[in-house]
Amino acid sequence: MDCSGRDIASGVNVAVTFDETISEVVACHTPLDTWIAPGWIDLQVNGFAGVDYNSAETTVDDLERSVRALFATGITRFFPTVITAAPDAMARALRRLALSRERLSCGGAIEGFHVEGPHIAAEDGPRGAHPRQWVRPPDLDEFYRWQEAAEGRVRMVTLSPEWPEAPHYIERIVEEGVVAAIGHTAATTAQIGDAVSAGATVSTHLGNGTHGVLPRHPNYIWDQLADDRLMAGFIADGIHLDASFLKVALRAKGLGRSLLVTDASAPAGASPGRYRLGEQEVDLTPEGRVVLAGTEKLAGSALSMDRAVENAARLSGLSLQDAVRLATINPAKAAGIQGRGRGLVPGERADIVQFRCAGGRIEVLRTWVGGVEQTF
């Protein structure tokens, strides 16, 4: 297989030859009007195209349709994300996702699973849209039940360091090759420091899942921004974060420690209306906000990664090249995804997206996963 376009990293017209991995990248002197880049990676997707990944009722066909809708946005690898619920419900959702992954024609795009909660702050604000009744302390036995249900594919766990059990829990899951992420937290400076020393390496959707009012300083947002050992994910939809915070946060973390996530839920890629997020109903408003039904409380997003890349450039002043880096190389680094950390170079996985960009708007044309072109 081969494809051509302007390499997003260099701006040079290139022809890329590949099978499962890239074998050759050579300069191409034919004028080209398309860009090519490593395919987008999203570490936090609760659902898409009307499909809720937290539901044990989600069928293989549902998931196939949802994943193919993600391909149309440039996604090539992602982490379906299961949020706080009853213990049995979380295990069932992971089991269903793992079984479906094996049956999908496009299952390789599911790189692993992200469990967000239930070991988070119980209080309003930091808890976000997670149901309070199922918040509970870190429990290694439960973690191993998740891994059993997920066939060992849980790759990231988001928790709050405020639980006394958190440092030991983090040490143990990191030893198992799982990324420990800080999120939905009301932790103190010392607790965040202890979590990072124990092995936490990522901040989940930093700036969201917080109190409405915080101390000027210190607070758990500043603490995470200031710690160079933490990479940070940002939801660049213009709703979860305003332009000033996004710009300042990206400057604080630096381009090497920042990444984009969508935190997409079932309404993403679908029409306004009512949907499910686990045991809760959510509404997609005509303005593009996803909220718990009957409230103004955000419950994930309707964001897709092509729009996130656009917004990151528009809202923060990043170049298109740097915005794409936040959706490709950086999340691969944060999650330890092999073969995706260097861009379009020989030896890397042939996860490729070809797109046009005019007037700041991205139009995805073709997507390859592991060298196989995907239909959408």
Dist CA 263 CA 286 (whole Å): 18
How many other C-beta atoms can be found within 10 angstroms of the C-beta atom of residue 206? 27
Please answer whether residues 299 and 129 qualify as being in contact, where contact means their C-beta atoms are separated by less than 8 angstroms. yes
- Return the half-sphere exposure (C-beta side, CA atoms, 13 A cut-off) of residue 281: 7
Please answer whether residues 97 and 115 qualify as being in contact, where contact means their C-beta atoms are separated by less than 8 angstroms. no
Please answer whether residues 328 and 321 qualify as being in contact, where contact means their C-beta atoms are separated by less than 8 angstroms. no
Is 263 annotated in the active site?
A: yes
DSSP string, 269-314: TS-SEEEEETTEEEEE-TTS-EEETTS--B-SB---HHHHHHHHHH
Residue of 52, 223, 263, 322 marked active site: 263
- 349 alpha-carbon distance from chain centroid: 19
Separation in Å, CA 39 to CA 35, 307, 364: 12, 14, 10
Residues near 157 by Cβ (< 8 Å), separated by ≥ 6? 114, 115, 116, 119, 143, 173, 178, 179, 180, 181
Q: What positions carry a catalytic annotation?
A: 263
